[in-house]
């Protein structure tokens, strides 16, 4: 199998990269290990933030439909249930597809593998009923099955707030939402929806124990001190059958290591991730990264990073779309606009550090 551009991952970043590259005339193959394209978008039933260019106001699954329709129209080939295994000595990429390992020869590779959810360890954390937010969201919004009726949410980031809201839409009751920080860490407007649904929010609190006969039946929250340690005697018990963990995400960057990409650490973007320059080129030859693998952010930033990676990869592969330079600048500006305000600026600083380091080692081949 020969292609100009291979994209690994069919979430918002990967699909945006594929569409942008295919628009230049490049042949694009997208592989994804799931049986459906769209990444996390099909689980997102809420209206998205951002601007028109990021489909703001549309719901996540509607955005996935739009991206897939564009990809189809442009002749992008998508292999589902297909896993990129790694780099062969020949420089080809091994892809497990239709129960065979296929060697894919690609001019450029765009890695858009996304992120994975963090767990949280506490007494009782192995009991059935302790689930991550994304797990509960997949059950509810894809398989139409509520994971529980009475839920305690841990974490007030946007994921925790949004999934709490969606599980209530599906009929569950959220008994409490705990946040270890002394403030809501997600958008206040998302917290507003949860407050108006009469969910008590406990700031400077964390989960200290879950108990039950064979599954979660009750959950204890406790106040934490300034060092985030639970304070004895402040435990409050809640009747609940589910603990929803929304404790952040970590880039799924193993494949970048396998491609010999130089890595860097940014705690605010989720941990270890591949270095990249301002066009999303990684340090390994012909490799690009975009979306959450390059630092956990939002779907809107994933779209713009994907477009940037896809366009630059196509240009580097010899395609010369009209106004390419202007488009690169436009996408860079759009990313800068998204990384503003109290939530965006810390991410802008992380990205500036990555790009500064990456500028010296990425794309110099």
Partner 1 sequence: MATGDKKGYVVLECPQEIPCNPCVDACRFGAIYMDGLNGIPTVNDEKCTGCKLCVAACPGQAIFYLEEDETDHTSSATFPYEYLPAPAVGDVVTALDSEGKEVGQCTVAAVSAPKAYNSTPLVTVVMEGDAGLRVRAIRRERKGL
- Among residues 25, 37, 90, the alpha carbon closest in space to that of 61 is found at 37
Q: Looking at beta carbons, which pairs linking 270-275 to residues 24 or more positions away fall under 8 Å?
A: 270/115, 270/295, 270/296, 273/354, 274/111, 275/354, 275/357, 275/358, 275/361, 275/362
Instruction: Considering the complex, state which of residue 125 and residue 187 has its C-beta at the smaller distance from partner 1.
Output: 187
Instruction: Considering the complex, state which of residue 29 and residue 290 has its C-beta at the smaller distance from partner 1.
Output: 290
User: In angstroms, what is the minimal distance from the CB of 252 to partner 1?
Assistant: 24
Give the tokens for residue 233: 């005697």
**Residue that has been written with the tokens 């973007």 in this structure:** 269
User: In angstroms, what is the minimal distance from the CB of 23 to partner 1?
Assistant: 24
Instruction: Considering the complex, state which of residue 52 and residue 143 has its C-beta at the smaller distance from partner 1.
Output: 52
Instruction: Considering the complex, state which of residue 124 and residue 291 has its C-beta at the smaller distance from partner 1.
Output: 291
User: In angstroms, what is the minimal distance from the CB of 141 to partner 1?
Assistant: 13
Instruction: Considering the complex, state which of residue 56 and residue 142 has its C-beta at the smaller distance from partner 1.
Output: 56
User: In angstroms, what is the minimal distance from the CB of 176 to partner 1?
Assistant: 13
User: In angstroms, what is the minimal distance from the CB of 240 to partner 1?
Assistant: 15
- Cβ(262)–Cβ(283) under 8 Å? yes
CA-to-CA distance for 86 and 257, rounded, in angstroms? Answer: 10
Handedness of CA 61, 66, 68, 69 (dihedral sign): positive
Q: Angle between the 12-23 and 299-316 helix axes, to the nearest 10 degrees?
A: 30
Instruction: Considering the complex, state which of residue 58 and residue 70 has its C-beta at the smaller distance from partner 1.
Output: 58
User: In angstroms, what is the minimal distance from the CB of 154 to partner 1?
Assistant: 20
- Cβ(31)–Cβ(6) under 8 Å? yes
User: In angstroms, what is the minimal distance from the CB of 158 to partner 1?
Assistant: 10
Instruction: Considering the complex, state which of residue 34 and residue 169 has its C-beta at the smaller distance from partner 1.
Output: 169
First vs last C-alpha separation in the chain: 24
- Cβ(7)–Cβ(29) under 8 Å? yes
**Residue that has been written with the tokens 């779907």 in this structure:** 299
Q: Looking at beta carbons, which pairs linking 234-239 to residues 24 or more positions away fall under 8 Å?
A: 235/208, 235/209, 236/202, 238/150, 238/152, 238/175, 238/176, 239/150, 239/175
- Summarize as ranges the residues that interact with partner 1 (CB under 8 A): 46-52, 56-59, 62, 149, 168-169, 171, 173, 187-190, 192-193, 195-199, 300, 337-344
Instruction: Considering the complex, state which of residue 119 and residue 192 has its C-beta at the smaller distance from partner 1.
Output: 192
CA-to-CA distance for 31 and 195, rounded, in angstroms? Answer: 41
Instruction: Considering the complex, state which of residue 239 and residue 340 has its C-beta at the smaller distance from partner 1.
Output: 340
276 half-sphere exposure, CB direction, 13 A CA radius? 31
CA-to-CA distance for 9 and 30, rounded, in angstroms? Answer: 7
User: In angstroms, what is the minimal distance from the CB of 29 to partner 1?
Assistant: 32
- Cβ(203)–Cβ(179) under 8 Å? yes
User: In angstroms, what is the minimal distance from the CB of 298 to partner 1?
Assistant: 8
């Amino acid at each position: 199998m020969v292609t100009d551009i291979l994209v690994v991952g069919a979430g918002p970043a990967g699909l945006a990269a594929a569409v942008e590259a295919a628009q230049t005339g490049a042949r694009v193959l997208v592989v994804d290990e799931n049986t459906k394209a769209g990444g996390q978008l099909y689980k997102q039933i809420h209206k998205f933030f951002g601007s028109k260019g990021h489909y703001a106001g549309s719901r996540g699954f509607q955005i996935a439909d739009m991206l897939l329709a564009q990809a189809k129209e442009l002749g992008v080939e998508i292999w589902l249930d297909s896993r990129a295994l790694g780099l062969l000595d020949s420089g080809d990429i091994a892809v497990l597809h239709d129960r065979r390992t296929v060697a894919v020869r690609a001019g450029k590779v765009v890695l858009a593998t996304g992120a994975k959810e963090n767990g949280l360890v506490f007494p009782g954390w192995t009991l059935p009923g302790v689930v991550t937010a994304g797990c509960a969201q997949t059950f509810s919004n894809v398989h139409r099955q509520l994971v529980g009726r009475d839920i305690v949410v841990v974490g007030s980031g946007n994921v925790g707030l949004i999934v709490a809201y969606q599980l209530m839409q599906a009929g569950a009751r959220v008994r409490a939402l705990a946040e270890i920080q002394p403030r809501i860490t997600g958008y206040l407007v998302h917290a507003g929806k949860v407050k108006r649904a009469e969910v008590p929010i406990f700031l400077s609190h964390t989960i200290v124990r879950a108990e039950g006969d064979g599954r979660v039946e009750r959950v204890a929250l406790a106040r934490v001190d300034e060092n985030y340690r639970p304070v004895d005697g402040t435990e409050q018990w809640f009747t609940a059958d589910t603990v929803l963990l929304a404790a952040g995400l970590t880039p799924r960057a193993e494949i970048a290591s396998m491609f010999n990409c130089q890595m860097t650490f940014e705690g605010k973007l989720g941990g270890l991730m591949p270095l990249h320059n301002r066009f999303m080129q990684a340090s390994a030859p012909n490799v690009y990264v975009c979306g959450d693998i390059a630092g956990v952010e939002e779907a809107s930033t994933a779209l713009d990073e994907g477009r940037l990676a896809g366009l630059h990869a196509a240009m580097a592969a010899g395609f010369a779309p009209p106004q390419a330079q202007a488009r690169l600048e436009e996408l860079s500006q759009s990313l800068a606009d998204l990384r503003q305000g109290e939530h965006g600026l810390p991410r802008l600083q992380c990205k500036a550090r990555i790009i500064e380091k990456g500028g010296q080692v990425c794309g110099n081949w």
